[in-house]
Amino acid sequence: MLFNNTYREEIIEAVFEKTNFCFVVVNEQGLITYLNKNYCDFIEVQLKDVLGKHVADVIENTRMHIVAQTGKEEIADLQYIKGNHMIANRIPLFAHGKLVGAVGTVLYKDTEEWKKMNSHIKDLLMEIENYQKKLSNPRGASYSLQDVVGSSVQINEIKEKIKKVSSGDASILLEGGSGTGKELFAHSIHNLSERSAKPFIKVNCAAIPMELLESELFGYEGGAFTGAKKEGKLGKFQLADGGTLFLDEIGDMPINAQVKILRALQEGEIEVIGTERTQKIDVRIISATNQSIEKLIKENRFREDLYYRINVISIKIPSLKERVEDIRVTAKFLLDKITQGTGKRVISFSDSVMQFFMHYDWPGNVRELENVIESAVHLTNTEIIELKDLPDHMQQSLYITEEGMGLKEIMANAEKQAITGAISQSNGDKISAAGLLGISKSSFYEKAKKYDL
Ligand SMILES: Nc1ncnc2c1ncn2[C@@H]1O[C@H](COP(=O)(O)OP(=O)(O)OP(=O)(O)O)[C@@H](O)[C@H]1O
C-alpha cells in the first residue's frame, strides 16, 4: 500500500480531479467507465453523455480499447487530439490476475504553454526534415524515379523513357496538366544523369516579375541598375553551371527573355547584365509546361526556334484521370506520407471514398489528390477516411460518381450526408436539424444513431 488508507479517497480525488492531467478509464470492451473533468472539458463532452460509450467514438485516435484487449502498456505515445500532438500513456488494468480494462492519461492538455511547446515541436520536426533532405541531396533535386508512384502502362513507359534519355545533354520538355508530377520527373532525370552531383536549379518563369526575370536568369554586376545589390548577383544559369536548369512554366517566359535563353543555348554563353562580357556556361535544360507551346507559337507568344531547342526530347505526362489504375496506390502512398508528417493515425479509406476517387475528374491531378487527403486526415475522427471527411466542394460530385455501388448504399450515403449537413447548419442543435430535414425528432435520433453521428 503506497499511502495511508485514511486519505485514500482524498488522494484519488486530488490526483484525478485537481491536477492538470486528463484521465480516462475503460473496461475490457473499451467502454468508458470514467472520464475526469479535465478530459471532458478538453474534448467538450459531458460525462453523463459518454459513460458506457465506446472510447473510439469519444476520443480521437485513441488506442485505449486496444490496450484493454492486448494488456500491453503504451507509454509516451504521440496522440493527435483536437489539432495538437498530445503525449498519451495507456496502462492495462489487472484485477486478480485478470485483464479488466485500461487507464489512460494525456499528459498535456490544450494549455497556452503546451500550444507553444507543440508549435515548437512542429517547427523542429520541419527543420529536421529539411536538413535530412539537404543531406540526402545537397544540390536541390530531392526526388528520384523511386518516388514516382504508379504502375500503369503510361507511367511505366515514361520511366523507361527517362532511363534512356537521362544521360546525355539533350534538352527535355515535360508537358502535362498542373500537378501531374512534372517537377518530380525533372528531379528524377537530373538524379539519373551524369550531372547528379552538380546543382539542380529551378526557375518558375510564371512567378518572377517580367522586369526581374532577366537579372534572375543571367545575374548582374554590382551597380548595374537602380536598386541592384552593390556586390552584384549570380543568375540561375551561373548557379546551375555544370548541372541542370529546370525552367518551370516556360510558356510564361516573356519574348525578350526567350531571345537571350536561345542565345545561351546556341552559343553556350550568357551575357551578365551591366557588362559587355560574355561568360561560358554549361547547363542542361529541362522545361515544363501545362500550356500548349504550339498554340503560343501561333499566337506569337513563343519563339518557334526556341521551341525546337528546348523540345529535343518530349515527354507527355498523363493526367491522373487517364491512369485510374494508379489512383488506389497513389492515394495510399500519399496517406502514409501525410500521416508521417502529422503524427495522426489514419490508416485507410472507406470503400465508397475509394470508389469516389476512381470516378472523380481530378483537374488538379496528383497535387489535388494530395491536398484532398491532407484535409481529410485533419478532419476525420477515425482511422478510416469516410466520404463525410472530404472537402465540401467535392460533396456535390458524390452523387454522380457513385456508380458501382448498390442503390441501398448510395441512398444510405445520401441520407448520412443530408443528416451531417443539417447538423452542421444548425450548429449541432439536433432538434432544429430534424426540423430542417422535415422529419420527427425520434426518427432523426434513430437515423443519427444508425450513422454514428
Ligand atoms: N507519380 C507520382 N507519384 C508520387 N507523387 C507524385 C506523382 N506525381 C506527382 N506527385 C506529387 O504531387 C505533387 C505535385 O507534383 P509536381 O509539383 O511535380 O507537379 P507539376 O506537374 O510540376 O505541377 P505544376 O504544373 O502545378 O507545377 C508533388 O507533391 C509530387 O511529389
In sequence order, which residues have a C-beta less than 8 Å from that of residue 357 and are 6 or more positions away?
Answer: 327, 328, 331, 349, 369
Whether 305 and 172 map to the same domain: the answer is yes
Amino acid at 63: R
In percent, the amount of the chain with pLDDT more than 70 equals 85
Same domain, 165 and 41: no
Q: Which residues line ligand 1 (CB under 6 A)?
A: 148-150, 176, 178-184, 248, 288, 290, 330, 366-367, 370
The strand pair at 200-204 and 244-248 is best described as parallel
Contact assessment for residue 89 and residue 74, using Cβ atoms and an 8 Å cutoff: yes
Q: In degrees rounded to 5, what are phi and psi of residue 427?
A: 50, 40
Do 205 and 246 reside in the same domain of the chain?
yes
Distance 161 CA to ligand 1 centre (A): 18
Rounded CA separation 300/305 (Å): 12
Q: Are 277 and 271 in contact (CB under 8 A)?
A: yes
227 belongs to a structural domain: yes
Is the confidence at residue 19, as pLDDT, over 80? no
Distance (angstroms) between ligand 1 centre and the Cα of 182 equals 6
Q: What is the pLDDT of residues 390-426, one digit of tens each?
A: 988 787 666 544 455 555 666 677 778 778 878 877 8
Domain at 439, CATH number? 1.10.10
CATH for 276: 3.40.50.300
Give how far the C-alpha of residue 45 lies from the chain's centroid of Cα atoms, to the nearest Å: 30
Is the pTM here over 0.80, yes or no? no
Please give the residue range of the domain that contains residue 50. 5-112
- 305 and 262 in contact (C-beta within 8 Å)? yes
Q: For a substitution probing ligand 1, which of 129, 367, 371, 373 has the most ligand atoms within 8 Å of its CB?
A: 367
* Percent of the chain surpassing pLDDT 90: 46
Do residues 163 and 113 lie in contact, with contact meaning Cβ atoms separated by under 8 Å?
no
Atom 30 in ligand 1: residue holding the nearest Cα: 181
CA 364–ligand 1 middle distance (angstroms): 10
Alpha helices by DSSP H, listed for 141-181, are 153-165
What separation in Å is there between the alpha carbon of 19 and the centre of ligand 1? 48
Q: Which atom of ligand 1 is nearest to the CA of 149?
A: 3
pLDDT score of 94: 94
Among protein residues, the one whose CA lies closest to atom 8 of ligand 1: 181
Residue reference for cell 518530349: 314
Average pLDDT, the chain: 85
Record the cell numbers describing residue 165, joined without a space. Answer: 534519355
Give the three-class secondary structure for 358.
helix
What is the whole-number distance in angstroms between the Cα of residue 109 and the centre of ligand 1?
37
CB count in 10 Å sphere of residue 421 = 16
Query: DSSP for 331-374?
Result: HHHHHHHHHHHH-----EE-HHHHHHHHHS--TTHHHHHHHHHH
The half-sphere exposure of 104 on its side-chain side, counting CA atoms within 13 A, is: 36
**CB-CB contact of 45 with 58 (8 Å):** yes
Same structural domain, 15 and 74: yes
Residues 74 and 161 occupy one common structural domain: no
Tally of domains in the chain: 4
Tell whether the model's pLDDT for residue 377 goes beyond 90. Answer: yes
